[in-house]
Chains A and B, each alone.
Chain A
Amino acid sequence: MAITTTKSAFWKGFRDSAPFIFMASPFGFLFGVLAAEAGLIVPEAFAFSLAVFAGAAQFTALQLMQENAPLIIILVSALAVNLRMAMYSASLTPYLGDAPMWQRAIAAYFMVDQSYALSIVQFENEPKMPVAQRMAYFFGTNGIVAPAWVIATALGALVGTRIPDSWGVDFVLPLAFLAMIGPMLRTPAHIAACFVAVAAALPAAALPYNLGLIVAGIAGMVAGAQAELWLERQKAKTESAK
């Protein structure tokens, strides 16, 4: 069914995003619990999620703060995790770039994995959608997931302060990262990036100031980009051979 009004576009985005509540809420909750374990009080954890609004980067910063990494390393690493947001921003610009500046400024805050993934599919499937409806759809995809994320964090932090230290939750954060990696490995190039990053990270862990993370991250990133180029060349070769 084609979308007919701005309002119905918002609600379509809202409905399409509903399954993501089951992803965002437990992860927000877990962030809250681990933030509390790291010594953050509830308003701090709440402010963290509200201001930064990016799960993987928040987990990264939390881990590095606990390792007493230098401030610059914490910021560079967590922002590197968020570099993909720039890619989302670039990729949505052809569809949303003509909207008023104030709308684009608000939309930028809500640029997350799920709003991007849903929106790009919707915009590609219905190329005739007017800009106002596209914007409404985009905001709709955040209508429930964004509040769920922030509220779940606060609840997690409330619960987290009551969990005794003896429960040993300090291995849960690595497990959370590991669970995030699997679904990210969509192509052989992603696997190459991941593999090279891991292979570089272990010896690089000997570097001071957590610099190993940056070195290994760059190595993995370059490996991914090169693998993608190589795969494209291979594909072109087999196609021209036909």
Chain B
Amino acid sequence: MSHIPAPILWTVIIGLALGSYGLRFAFIGFMGGKPIAPWLMRHLRYTAVAIIPALVAPLVVWPAPTGGDPSLMHFAAAAATFAAGYLTRNVLFGLGTGGLALLLLYLAA
């Protein structure tokens, strides 16, 4: 387990706190009633749904528990999690399914 150095951790916590607050305050605080440009709105809508899959894809293809070797077991658990989350539109169903799949595959292996 790699421990995160305290200066890094606190820089991240404080930086994220200020940055997130800035994003949340930006329009309601500063812009008054001025509308946000449609092209900007259009890109903001897709940031989370782009960044999170981009973060997770390498973690699934090269999973940490195997030291980065592709593993069918981890891929199957990941696919089950995604499918359950997508079909039920519920984060917790997705997570529950994935956890269960991972457990079953561990026991079967």
- Which residues in A have some Cβ–Cβ distance to B below 8 Å? 22-23, 26-27, 30, 37-40, 44, 47-48, 51-54, 56-58, 60-61, 63-66, 68, 71, 74-75, 77-90, 92-94, 96-97, 101, 104-105, 107-109, 111, 165, 168, 170-185, 189-190, 193-194, 196-198, 200-202, 204-205, 212-213, 216-225, 228-229
Q: Is the CB of A201 within 8 A of B28?
A: no
Q: Is the CB of B9 within 8 A of A179?
A: no
Q: Is the CB of A179 within 8 A of B95?
A: yes
Given A60-B52, A221-B46: A86 and B3 interface contact (C-beta under 8 Å):
no
Given A217-B51, A221-B50: A92 and B28 interface contact (C-beta under 8 Å):
yes
Give the chain B neighbours of A170 by CB distance below 8 A. 64-65
Q: How far is the CA of A87 from the CA of B49 in the complex (A)?
A: 14
Contact residues of B between 1 and 46, Cβ < 8 Å to A? 1-4, 8-9, 11-17, 19-21, 23-29, 31-33, 35-36, 39, 41-46
Most buried by A among B19, B45, B83: B45
Given A181-B85, A201-B57: A79 and B23 interface contact (C-beta under 8 Å):
yes
Interface presence of B56 (CB below 8 A): yes
Q: Is the CB of A178 within 8 A of B55?
A: no
Query: Which applies to chain B's interface (DSSP): helix, strand, loop or mixed?
Result: helix
Nearest A residue to B98 by beta-carbon distance?
A175
Give the chain B neighbours of A53 by CB distance below 8 A. 17, 20
The range of chain B's interface size is 35 or more
CB A153 to nearest CB in B, in angstroms, measures 12
Give the chain A neighbours of B65 by CB distance below 8 A. 168, 170-171
Q: How far is the CA of A16 from the CA of B77 in the complex (A)?
A: 34
Mind listing 15 A-B residue pairs with CB under 8 Å? A38-B1, A53-B20, A78-B16, A85-B24, A89-B23, A92-B28, A109-B24, A170-B65, A175-B77, A182-B89, A193-B49, A197-B50, A200-B54, A213-B55, A220-B53
Nearest A residue to B7 by beta-carbon distance?
A71
Give the chain A neighbours of B27 by CB distance below 8 A. 86, 89-90, 93
Q: Is the CB of B23 within 8 A of A65?
A: no
Q: Is the CB of A178 within 8 A of B98?
A: yes
Nearest B residue to A44 by beta-carbon distance?
B9
Q: Is the CB of B44 within 8 A of A86?
A: yes
